[in-house]
Structure 1
């Protein structure tokens, strides 16, 4: 599948080129493995770099409302490393470096190009999102990243359906679906929540933005889908 957000963010990318100094660099250190070879054939470094830049522009404009570089985290470069020694996860992010698991790429049974695109949208969100100075719980942090993946159009078919899940902060697709519901109540909710998390975090942020506590919002969400 082609990058469906490319046309929508082309103008923003041109702006970023002139006003920002963010660079994107993908490398494959697993070329001698099955997963590394599949990455080269099905994805490629040029496409991966395009995904990193397009994902960043999508996050700034459509997810976090950070059209000015001054509003964003001070990141000068986003790096992707395809590595052979990663197991148990598709990818992980530390600061501005994303590590993609070559074994995951090699073992994935579906459209690996689309899957890698979605994974990179998720991981690029980790580069740019605020985490409450480390105080936001992990489920919310991962949920925000999957919310971006969802809004970009790269939610896999195996994700939970709206209304499913046990807790609002269960993480990943469960929390992403809940955040999407909150965003429907007040468009731009996730952008406002992310902005508040620059300096710290409390669950009271939900009430401050939406007028209801997060547990009540979760109950409303479940009732909305009769789940």
Structure 2
């Protein structure tokens, strides 16, 4: 039985990887003349970045349970541009923009950190946003949830149970969503699917049977002890 489950899981990953080939992935570095741009070329590189975009997309589809092309956004290409800009990174439509200044200031494993950032930003390419009605904290939290599940959460993130609000965003919301998913595996996939046509906080109650404020209280209580 275990062998059959492993075989099915392997088949799903292979199928998703094949589907990723139907989407094109490209990367360019417009900041090669800066110290951060040179560091990107040395520590990460364009070929590796394109592979990460492909791998991340397949992982996101699996996380969102979007095995069929019709379940996903219609995206033909995902691009990455390294630029001499401030901040960390941002995504507009299907284009990811990474700050060379940020890359230049990373302490520790540059390749792993950039990989994590790309998983986060690639999630923005593929996730639904409730037709613009979902709050930004949840959107960013889902992106960091994907980064967390992919194994690229940095050490400076908050620990489970920390944070002031469920929709505080980023790592705080990612940890909370991980808790919600532990209550009902596939919760985040179901939440994202519902966000295709709109958004309301009631989605939490419809999927998990408790409103989001009660879930947050339960989450905080679990990790206090």
- Identify the TM-score tier after normalising by the shorter chain: over 0.9
CA RMSD after TM alignment = 1.3
| Candidates 208, 211, 217, aligned match of 1:210 | 208
Classify the secondary structure of the residue corresponding to 1:133. Answer: helix
Counterpart position of 2:119: 121
What corresponds to 1:26 in structure 2? Answer: 27
C-alpha separation between the residues in 2 aligned to 1:194 and 1:146? 14
Q: How does 1:190-201 map to 2 (within 5 A)?
A: 190-201=188-199
* Residue matched to 2:14: 11
> 1:225 is matched with which residue?
223
Unmatched 5+ stretches in structure 2: 1-9
Pairwise CA distance, 1:110 = 1.2
For residues 50-129 of structure 1, the aligned pairs below 5 Å read: 50-61=51-62, 63-84=63-84, 86-87=85-86, 89-129=87-127
Matched residues in 1 for 2:82 and 2:13: separation? 26
Q: Is the 8 A contact 1:13 1:54 kept in 2?
A: no
| Matched residue, 1:5 | none
- Alpha carbons 1:13, 1:53 under 8 Å: kept: no
1:167: which partner in 2? 165
**Alpha-carbon shift at residue 21 of structure 1 (Å):** 2.8
Shift in CA distance, 27/162, structure 1 to aligned 2, threshold 3 Å = same
TM-score by length of 1: 0.92
How many residues get paired? 215
Q: Which residue of 2 aligns with 1:187?
A: 185
Q: Is the 8 A contact 2:16 2:67 kept in 1?
A: no
Q: For 2:78 and 2:15, how far apart are their aligned partners in 1? A: 17
Q: Structure 1 residue 13: deviation in Å?
A: 4.7
Counterpart-to-counterpart distance in 1, 2:47 and 2:80: 12
Matches of 2:127 and 2:66, distance apart in 1 = 11
Residue pairs, 1:31-46, within 5 angstroms: 31-46=32-47
| Inter-CA distance 14–147: structure 2 relative to 1 (3 Å threshold) | closer
Deviation at 1:14, TM superposition (A): 4.4
Change (3 A) 1:10 1:219: closer
Question: Which structure shows the higher helix fraction?
Answer: 2
- Normalised by the length of structure 2, the TM-score is 0.93
| C-alpha distance in structure 1 between counterparts of 2:15 and 2:141, whole Å | 25
- The unaligned stretches of length 5 or more in structure 1 are 1-7
Q: Measure how far apart 1:15 and its partner are.
A: 2.5
The answer to whether the Cα contact below 8 Å between 1:163 and 1:221 also exists between their aligned partners in 2 is: yes
> What is the CA–CA distance in structure 2 between the aligned matches of 1:112 and 1:212, rounded to whole Å?
40
Q: Aligned equivalents of 1:156 and 1:213: distance in 2?
A: 30
2:16 and 2:61 in contact (8 A); partners too: no
